[in-house]
Amino acid sequence: MSDRYSKSRRLTQQSAQLIAGTASLLNDPPLVFVRAQGNRLWDADGNEYIDHHAAFASQLLGHNHPEVNLAVSTAIERGSSMMGSGVTEGEIQLAELIRAAVPSMERVQFASTGNDALTQAIRLSRAWTCREDIVVMLGGYNGWHNDASHAALPALELVGPRQVGEYQFATTLADFPADVRRHVHVINFNDLDSVEYILQRYPIACVITEPMLQNIGVIPPRPGYLAGLRKLCDEHGALLVFDEVRSGFRASFGGYQSIAGVTPDLSVFGKNLANGYPFGVVGGRGSVMALFDSPDPSWCVTLNGTFNPHPLTIAAALATLTILQREQDGVYQRLESLGGRLQKGLEMVFAELNVTATVSRMGAAFCVYFCDHVPVDWHDLMTSHDFALDRRYRRGLIERGIYLFPLPCKQGLLSAAHTREDINKMIEATREILSAEHPSVLRHLSAT
């Protein structure tokens, strides 16, 4: 029997000898992608896939969007280069576009990635409040740096049972130092009682959250949760930081904060902002952002990074936001229409096959949870979701030419390049996979 993935398999094995922590090792089968266009991916063996991964939400317009690529190539042709000195006209234009889209971003600063931008938001918060401690959400992802990576995907056995307050679980030096851990307070998303508990007991500089928890699918905020965070932060003198690296410009042109109607003190954007080019931005209240410019060395937050405002990523971001601003009604309505069609189709399949599953969706982001409800936090997810079925489901999709990241609970995504035909293929592939999981149901349907 021929191996459809022989070249990918060989390259993955080769990479394991040369590159530490090779991300492709997460793939099952071990895929190596070599080309992408629009909503399609091709692996090293020539297999074609509909892409529902979008590079962890980096491709809102689709891969290699011609207008974005043209902006980058034009920047190269006109001699743009990394000067490392002074501001450029493109940076000013981009800052104006961002502020017009997201009014809470009174002033901005650019970074190479969302991770770098979030790191700067933490430093600003600590300088502004003269406090060291921060709050992060269990199951959330706010970058790989010490202050945030601890909470991303811990085992439930390590975390312990649900409680009001923080989860102080053990780490090793391979995770991050104990002295850092004592300043980072991990609590559950959607849990205002725990937020208040921590704010009353520790000198909190900022509360950091994705406004919609997306590292573990699509977990929406409960009604009043984000407004409650705003109120508690104001009462206790902490800054509220929204990590919109995934949701920014994907949920809506103004970010998820424009949907929620809650204004954070600082926000972090990235990924969709430059449609796949490496970029991040931190911004917010002008008085807080002014700490980057403070003449007082005891207050000034140092900002360094030679490649932060790289002219090629600036060009990509300018083109992406220009497209979204020009076509925002059409883009977001189309994504909502396709997302709604996908959700309705999947839910019909689940009902038809009597499969316990639910779809959580916000616009172009979706996740199938194999349980009878949308989880509200990490503990709910870990105790309710059928992880083994999720893994088989994702493997089945890949075998049928649909790429959804093969790690359970990772969200699926739509881009402006997807079509109704793509949605139909996803629905039919789901029916095939789950019918094989429930053959007795399939026989019954065939008989009737």
DSSP codes joined into one string, 294-349: -SSTTTPPP---TTTT-HHHHHHHHHHHHHHHHHHHHHHHHHHHHHHHHHHHHHHH
Half-sphere exposure of 430 (CA within 13 A, CB side): 26
Q: Which position among 49, 116, 271, 390 bears the catalytic label?
A: 271
Q: Do 358 and 373 meet the contact criterion of CB atoms below 8 Å apart?
A: yes
Q: In whole angstroms, give the CA distance from residue 260 to residue 374.
A: 19
Respond yes or no: is residue 372 known to be catalytic.
no
DSSP E strands, 30-152? 33-37, 40-43, 48-51, 107-111, 133-137
Q: Domain ranges in the chain?
A: 6-64+328-447, 66-323
Q: Do 255 and 72 meet the contact criterion of CB atoms below 8 Å apart?
A: no
Per-residue pLDDT of the chain (448 residues; tens, 9 = 90+): 468 999 999 998 888 888 887 654 577 788 999 999 999 999 999 999 999 999 999 999 999 999 999 999 999 999 887 777 778 899 999 999 999 999 999 999 999 999 999 999 999 999 999 999 999 999 998 888 878 777 777 788 888 899 999 988 766 656 677 778 889 999 999 999 999 999 999 999 999 999 999 999 999 999 999 999 999 999 999 999 999 999 999 989 999 999 999 999 999 999 989 999 999 999 999 999 999 888 888 888 887 778 888 899 999 999 999 999 999 889 999 999 999 999 999 999 999 999 999 999 999 999 999 999 999 999 999 999 999 999 999 999 999 999 999 999 999 999 999 999 999 999 999 999 999 987 654 444 444 4
CA max distance for the chain:
79
Q: Which position among 5, 49, 141, 202 bears the catalytic label?
A: 141
Dihedral sign computed on CA atoms, order 243, 249, 251, 253: positive
Respond yes or no: is residue 141 known to be catalytic.
yes
Q: Which position among 51, 116, 243, 422 bears the catalytic label?
A: 243
Q: Characterize the bridge pairing of strands 40-43 and 33-37.
A: antiparallel
Fold of 66-323: Aspartate Aminotransferase; domain 2 (3.40.640)
Respond yes or no: is residue 271 known to be catalytic.
yes
Phi, psi angles (nearest 5°) of residue 394:
-65, -40
pTM equals: 0.93
Strands of 184-187's sheet in order across: 107-111, 280-284, 266-270, 239-244, 204-209, 133-137, 184-187
Structure tokens at 159: 């975390």
The CATH code for residues 6-64+328-447 is 3.90.1150.10
Residue 266 buriedness (CB in 10 A; 0-12 / 13-18 / 19+): buried
